[in-house]
Amino acid sequence: MQRFEGYRALVTGAGSGIGAAVARRLAAEGAAVLVTDVDADRAEEVAAGISADGGTAAGFGCDVSEPESVASAVGAVVERFGGLDTLVNNAYAGNPETVLLEDSREDEWLGAFDVTLHGAYRCCRAAMPHLAAAGGRGAIVNIGSVNGEQDFGGHAYSAAKAALAGLTRTLAVDSAERGVRVNLVAPGTVDTPSWKGRPQALVRAAGHYPLGRVGRPEDIAAAVAFLASADAGWITGVTLPVDGGVLIGNLAMRRDLGPDRD
């Protein structure tokens, strides 16, 4: 299915994990994708893989904590592909693990917000005129987290993701008359390179998910593609959990309190 034939997309933090999967999914459905990452080499590698598979993509180094870098990335997608229809804000910073608040460092707190929230703000601000000129198909999809909806640890990470959900709602209303939809996907635990070296943690995490496994980057990419497409043309301002059911119940408590099962 080529839902994005003729679309132009920019994906941040797309050098690996969820961002890379999103870039590949959009390209597989016909979009021309600017793959951006703070590590330009990784962005180029992902873009080269998309091109090798027959898609249209280019890599670009972008540090979303720098307004000039964001402006350059938006300018690059418009110049290279002729416009911008889809923005996916995936770049983030912050450790989802919790430390005692008094042991946390202020620079880490501010850094989490500067990339996760302020970076998305910078990208939306730079991209909005182009998205508004996209003839009603402009869409922003922000990548949040279940941490922004419920306690799973990580003070700065969770607070920044919750704030991103708030920005999603206000921007959705503000941009609706300009033909731009804004939504957020909230993943649960996803097997990405951020979990490298901790395979047993993912095994333990899987036991808390009603669907019996942690997520794959492709699970999130599928949801992003839906929200960015015309199939979601009457959806804006929502937070879509893609979380294996973890937000709807406490599986560990259910098992502890329920009847014994052989």
- Active site amino acids: 157
Using the structure block, give the residue that is written with the tokens 């182009």.
130
The Cα 207–Cα 241 span in angstroms is 18
What are the backbone dihedrals phi and psi of residue 223, each rounded to the nearest 5 degrees, phi first? -70, -40
Helix (H) or strand (E) holding 89: strand 86-89
Q: 152: which 2 tokens? A: 């799973």
Whose CA is closest to 53, among 24, 80, 81?
24
The Cα 161–Cα 145 span in angstroms is 6
**Sheet with strand 86-89: strands edge to edge:** 56-61, 32-37, 8-11, 86-89, 138-143, 180-187, 239-242
The Cα 99–Cα 93 span in angstroms is 16
The Cα 19–Cα 25 span in angstroms is 10
β-sheet bridge partners, residue 61: 37
The Cα 260–Cα 237 span in angstroms is 42
Please, what is the angle between helix 155-176 and helix 118-132, to 10°?
20
Q: 141: which 2 tokens? A: 């999809």
